[in-house]
Amino acid sequence: MSDADWQPVVMLFLEPINSPEDERERVAKAIGLLEAAVGDKVGTVADRADTFDNPAYSGQQDCNDEAINTTGYLRLLKQAGYLTLHVIEDMRTRNFFFTGMATYDCSDARNSHGRTICRR
C-alpha cells in the first residue's frame, strides 16, 4: 500500500478514541477504506456480498478470503496504534447452529468488557 492509500486511514484516528463503540466505528470505516484500496490493486474491489449467489462475478471472495483479509487489516491497525481498546482473536468458524446458514469463517476481536465482534 502506498502512503496515499494509508493517509485516509490515518485521518480517521487523528481525534482521540472516546469509547469501545467509537473505536469499532472507526475500525469499520478503516477496513472499508483498506478493502477499497487493496481491492483496486488486486481486482476484488467489486466483491459482492454473499458467496453463494455471486460465483460468476470476477474478484468474488468467500468468507475465508474476507476473514483472512479483515484479520490482516486489524493487525495493521493494531501495529499502527489505532486498535487500543480491542484485542484481535483467532479467526472463528460459525455454523448452522448459530446462524441458520451454512458454515462461514470470520475475523474476531473483543474489547476489555469481553464483547466479541465477528465480521462475516
The domain segmentation of the chain, as residue ranges, is 3-119
Q: First vs last Cα of the chain: how many Å apart?
A: 24
Alpha carbon distance 69, 106 (integer Å):
10
Q: pTM of the full predicted structure?
A: 0.71
24-48 per-position pLDDT tens digit: 899 999 988 998 898 778 766 666 5
pLDDT score at 120: 44
Contacts for 70 with CB less than 8 Å, ≥ 6 apart:
31, 106, 107, 119
- Residue 104: closest CA among 94, 113, 114: 94
CA 89 to chain centre: 13
pLDDT of 72 reads 86
